[in-house]
Amino acid sequence: MFADPSSRSAQLYERACKVMVSGNTRATVFSSPYQIYAASALGCRIYDIDGVERIDFQNNYSVLIHGHAHPAIVESVEEQLGKGFCYGLASESEISLAELLCSPVPSFECIRFVNSGTEAVITAIRAARAYTGRPKIAKIEGGYNGAYDFVDISIRSAPHDWSDGSNAPTGVPESRGIPDCVLSNVVVIPFNDPVTAVRILEQHKEELAAVVVDPLPPRVGLIPATREFLEALRDFTQSSGSVLIYDEIVSFRLGYQGAQVELGVEPDLTTIGKFVGGGFPFGAVAGKKEVMAVFDLRGAGAPLIWHGGTFNANPITMSAGLTTMQMLTPEAFMRLASLGQQARERITEEFRAAGIPGQATGLGSLFRIHFTDRRFTNYGDFYPLPVEKKRMEWLVRYFLNHGILVSNIALGAISTVMGEAEIQQLVDTLSAALQEMKREHTMET
Ligand SMILES: Cc1ncc(COP(=O)(O)O)c(C=O)c1O
């Protein structure tokens, strides 16, 4: 049972705290009073060092689309390991993965590999700045785009920072030490409010290099961008000469063509990451050749951006990614989407049956659980009340103690090794949690 001071995880955590601040190097896996340590994982199950087994709906924040240690990925990585881990030369595997990723997505005219989602976002923003010669970027309120100063703004902004339609949202630095020169070069726009967003953007149009938007932002409630919003951003960027960047690091899970084809509006650049690397560190920027030409090394003189990276396109990630993507046939994506829909519908039904406000949002294989019936389309409507947040945190912990792992924002990602039995277990556990919540009357405020 979490939290147990005599557990091996608690002991390890104590050891970790002696050499790492808060015993941790990754805020997203931190939990109090200690972190749970994994021992191993296979398929859709993960085992901690105290021997507790859980169904893994977290899948390392959506990375593991084929679950843990999938034999085909293990085989491709083992084969590559025998041929060398990384080279100071290019390898054919990067061409194969690039071809496979670019061919189905019209806006992916070419691609550049890096090693994380954060790096992909940094690289896309650098490309947009070099291409336009302008300094500013715009991002959506509530959107998370990685650990980088220029996007570490207004991720958790509170009601008094929001736009009321007549003013722009206040840019709120998430971390201390972000210089004013960064803040003054970031424009915050409200999600799914095309009129206000464009009005704000117009005020900065001469200086804007890029508008960065996640078409299915997990931290804005995992609700999709409306076509109207994306079209407004597309029209603005086209007419003002700035670059439209989609952060599809999570939403690319919707299918081979990501969210952009499903939502019907094409960006100039897209960042991808997470599952595409098959569980190995991965990120990429893909997009229009005209913009990506800023990295071109072939002309006379220096390129606009000289972009290196010791582990970029490393053959281990490339082979794991290639095998991962090859297994993701249209049928596999359809099956994932159908399981996702089943999960979302059944979760929402459980809340109704229990008489507790709640629902699941999401698309494709992704779901997020909320303790409210409110229909939301923007950050303001989504923003959880303290009681909703408290209930969500209680549920995540209940899941943890009853064999289910989801992320700490109750975000889940279904993998291809899951089936209806795992969805059933998720729904049954939710049902038991809601009954306990009602019995205990602990969550009233
Ligand atoms: C939408 C989005 N963009 C960017 C990132 C950053 O990716 P990474 O953690 O691989 O640096 C994340 C990570 O969760 C994300 O969800």
Q: How does pLDDT run along the chain (445 residues), one tens digit per residue?
A: 899 999 999 999 999 999 999 999 999 999 999 999 999 999 999 999 999 999 999 999 999 999 999 999 999 999 999 999 999 999 999 999 999 999 999 999 999 999 999 999 999 999 999 999 999 999 999 999 999 999 999 999 999 888 777 778 999 999 999 999 999 999 999 999 999 999 999 999 999 999 999 999 999 999 999 999 999 999 999 999 999 999 999 999 999 999 999 999 999 999 999 999 999 999 999 999 999 999 999 988 889 999 999 999 999 999 999 999 999 999 999 999 999 999 999 999 999 999 999 999 999 999 999 999 999 999 999 999 999 999 999 999 999 999 999 999 999 999 999 999 999 999 999 999 999 999 986 666 5
CA of 61 to the centre of ligand 1 (A): 9
- Straight-line distance from the first to the last Cα atom of the chain, in angstroms, rounded to the nearest whole number: 25
Q: What is the CATH number of the domain that holds 180?
A: 3.40.640.10
Residues 357, 425: Cα–Cα separation, whole Å: 21
* CA pair distance 124, 136, nearest whole angstrom: 13
Q: Residue 2 to residues 21, 54, 226: CA-CA distances in angstroms?
A: 22, 13, 40
Helix 330-354 / helix 420-440 crossing angle, nearest 10 deg = 20
In a domain, 227, yes or no: yes
Q: Determine, yes or no, domain membership for 88.
A: yes
Q: Is residue 298 domain-shared with residue 379, that is, in the same domain?
A: no
Contacts of 326 (CB under 8 A, 6+ apart): 100
Return the pLDDT at 279: 98
Q: Closest Cα to atom 5, ligand 1: which residue?
A: 146
Domain boundary among 279, 310, 327: 327
Whole-number Å distance between alpha carbons of 275 and 286: 16
Structure tokens at 379: 């950050």
Residue 56: CATH number of its domain: 3.90.1150.10
Write down the pLDDT at residue 444. Answer: 62
DSSP 45-102: EEEETT--EEEESSHHHHT-TT-BS-HHHHHHHHHHHTT-S--SS--HHHHHHHHHHH
> Is 50 within the bounds of a domain?
yes
Q: Are 186 and 136 in contact (CB under 8 A)?
A: yes
Question: Nearest 5 degrees, angle CA 103-CA 212-CA 414?
Answer: 60
Ligand 1 contact via 258 beta carbon (within 6 Å) = no
**Residue 8 is assigned to a structural domain of this protein:** no
Specify whether 81 is located in the same domain as 109. yes
Residue span of the structural domain in which 215 resides: 71-327
Name which residue sits closest to atom 16 of ligand 1, judged by CA: 250
Does one domain contain both 99 and 41?
no
Indicate the top mutation candidate among 123, 274, 368 to test ligand 1's pocket, ranked by most ligand atoms within 8 A of CB: 274
The span from the CA of 398 to the CA of 165, in Å, is: 39
349 and 248 belong to one structural domain? no
**pTM for this model (two decimals):** 0.97
- Strands 283-287 and 404-405 turn out to be unpaired
Alpha carbon of 442 to ligand 1 centroid (Å):
34
Place of tokens 């201390």: 176
Mutate to test the pocket of ligand 1, among 62, 113, 119, 144 (most ligand atoms within 8 A of CB): 144
The H-or-E segment that residue 343 falls in is helix 330-354
Smallest Cα–Cα separation from 104: which of 253, 257, 247, 250? 257
Q: Whose CA is nearest to atom 10 of ligand 1?
A: 117
Q: Are residues 293 and 416 in the same domain?
A: no
The reply to whether 12 falls in a domain is no
Structural domain includes residue 251 = yes
Distances (CA, A) of 93 to 76, 89, 144, 195: 11, 12, 30, 45
Q: Note whether 321 and 428 are same-domain residues.
A: no
Rounded CA-CA distance 311/113 in Å is: 9
In which element (H, E) is residue 118 found?
Answer: helix 117-132
Closest CA to 348 of 311, 317, 321, 373: 373
Query: Are 257 and 361 in the same domain?
Result: no
Cβ burial, residue 425 (10 Å; 0-12/13-18/19+): middle
User: Is residue 392 in some structural domain?
Assistant: yes
Do 321 and 357 belong together in one domain?
no
Distances, alpha carbon 305 to alpha carbons 146, 213, 292, 312, in Å: 21, 23, 10, 16
Are both 157 and 186 inside the same structural domain? yes
Contacts of 276 (CB under 8 A, 6+ apart): 101, 252, 282, 284, 321, 324, 325
3-state helix, strand, coil in the chain (%, to 5): 45, 15, 40
Residues 294 and 175 in one domain: yes
Residue 315 inside a domain? The answer is yes
Of 327, 362, 377, which residue sits at a domain end?
327
Burial level of 166, CB count in 10 A (0-12/13-18/19+)? exposed
Pick from 312, 327, 342: which residue ends a domain?
327
128 plus 150 within the same structural domain: yes
Number of domains in the chain: 2
Whether residues 277 and 301 share a domain: the answer is yes
Here the tokens at position 426 are 């998720």
